[in-house]
Amino acid sequence: MEINKVGVIGCGSMGAGIAQISAQSGLDVIVREINEDLLSKGLASINKMLSKGVEKEKIAQKDMDEALARIKGTTAMEDFAECDLVIEAVVEDLDLKKKVFTELEKICPRHTILGTNTSCLSIIDIATVTSRPEKVLGLHFFYPVALMALLEIVRTISTSDETVEAAKAFGERVGKSVVIAQDTPGYIVNRLFIPYMLDAIRLYEAGVASREDIDMGVKLGLNYPMGPLTLADFTGVDIVYFVASAMYEQTKNPALIPPTLLQKMVAAGWLGRKTGKGFYEYK
């Protein structure tokens, strides 16, 4: 199956990025938000990202203009009726995602593949609200979407080989390296990343070392590009907390229980770079 028209539900940081790279790859894109204000902000963020690319001479102005021309913003779910692939990128709330997929089931033709950008939730739980579980899978992009090279495709026990192959072709068309994982808690990346991150936070919480020394130890000792506490701030402290909590609920593995410090930082609104304060402070 060839994918030519892509729908994206949500025009926040992830949805906008997915819409942008799809349009830059020559695909027609429909991106939806729940109201005009959020839609305008999302489309403006796409324009800003592309403009930066032009300023840095990474893309030509002509390519930017053509990409923007391929993107249509909407607040109506009905506009997904002609899409070959729809990617849901709303907040990590299982009930909300199920509601979205229930609506898509009524609107999209039978050939449409339905993907979710969830980073940790059970995809088969989402797929079961549709009558086409063989057409449902995870399409886990990484932030920032335009810069991160990976797409993690997650297949459920019901996802067909044809759906996986079409999704893989889409991922490669938008310039991503593709890995395929089974629908288990955390898939590949977060299954490895979250325990590592939580252990680093516990080291800091216990006073084993300073935040700077923990980060420098990992960077220089393991040759990682970024230390774990810096990365937590970049990813979002609240995101780390949510993913860890969701994985713990599915596995009951005590290693995935969020540290007390992490819980308190979320309660205090110390969410990292996006709020100006996390493990470090940002001006």
Q: Are residues 15 and 135 in the same domain?
A: yes
Helix extents (H) in the chain: 13-24, 36-55, 61-69, 94-107, 123-127, 161-173, 189-205, 211-222, 228-235, 237-251, 260-268
Q: Spot the catalytic one: 119, 134, 210, 212.
A: 119
Q: Spot the catalytic one: 190, 223, 245, 253.
A: 190
Q: Are residues 166 and 200 in the same domain?
A: no
111: DSSP letter = T
What residue numbers bound the domain in which 173 lies?
A: 5-182
- The ranges of the chain with pLDDT < 70 are none
Q: Are residues 178 and 208 in the same domain?
A: no
Q: Spot the catalytic one: 88, 117, 152, 158.
A: 152
Q: Are residues 42 and 153 in the same domain?
A: yes
Q: Are residues 164 and 203 in the same domain?
A: no
Of 130, 154, 182, the one marking the end of a domain is 182
Among this protein's residues, is 140 annotated catalytic? yes
* Residues paired with 274 in a beta bridge: none
pLDDT of residue 231: 96
pLDDT of residue 1: 84
* Number of compact structural domains in the chain: 2
Phi, psi dihedral angles at 41 (to 5 degrees): -65, -40
Q: Are residues 135 and 206 in the same domain?
A: no
Sheet holding 85-88, edge to edge: 71-74, 28-32, 5-9, 85-88, 113-116, 136-141, 150-155, 177-182
Q: Is the pTM of this model over 0.75?
A: yes
Q: Which CATH number characterizes residue 253's domain?
A: 1.10.1040.10
Q: Which CATH number characterizes residue 68's domain?
A: 3.40.50.720
Q: Are residues 21 and 109 in the same domain?
A: yes
Of 143, 162, 182, the one marking the end of a domain is 182
Give 123: exposed, middle or buried? Use CB within 10 Å, 0-12, 13-18, 19+. Answer: buried
Q: Are residues 177 and 106 in the same domain?
A: yes
231 Cβ contact partners less than 8 Å away, ≥ 6 residues apart: 197
Q: Are residues 12 and 122 in the same domain?
A: yes
* Residues paired with 116 in a beta bridge: 88, 138
Would 62 be classed as within a structural domain? yes
Of 151, 182, 213, the one marking the end of a domain is 182
Residue 59, helix vs strand vs coil: coil
Would 35 be classed as within a structural domain? yes
Secondary structure element (H or E) that encloses residue 281, with its range: none
Residue type at position 202 = R
Q: How many CA atoms lie within 13 A of 3 on its CB side?
A: 29
pLDDT tens track for 15-52: 999 999 999 999 999 999 999 999 999 999 999 999 99
Radius of gyration of the chain (CA): 19
Q: Spot the catalytic one: 22, 117, 140, 158.
A: 140
Q: How many CB atoms lie within 10 A of CB 267?
A: 9
pLDDT tens track for 85-111: 999 999 999 999 999 999 999 999 999
Would 283 be classed as within a structural domain? no
Among this protein's residues, is 152 annotated catalytic? yes
pLDDT of residue 108: 97
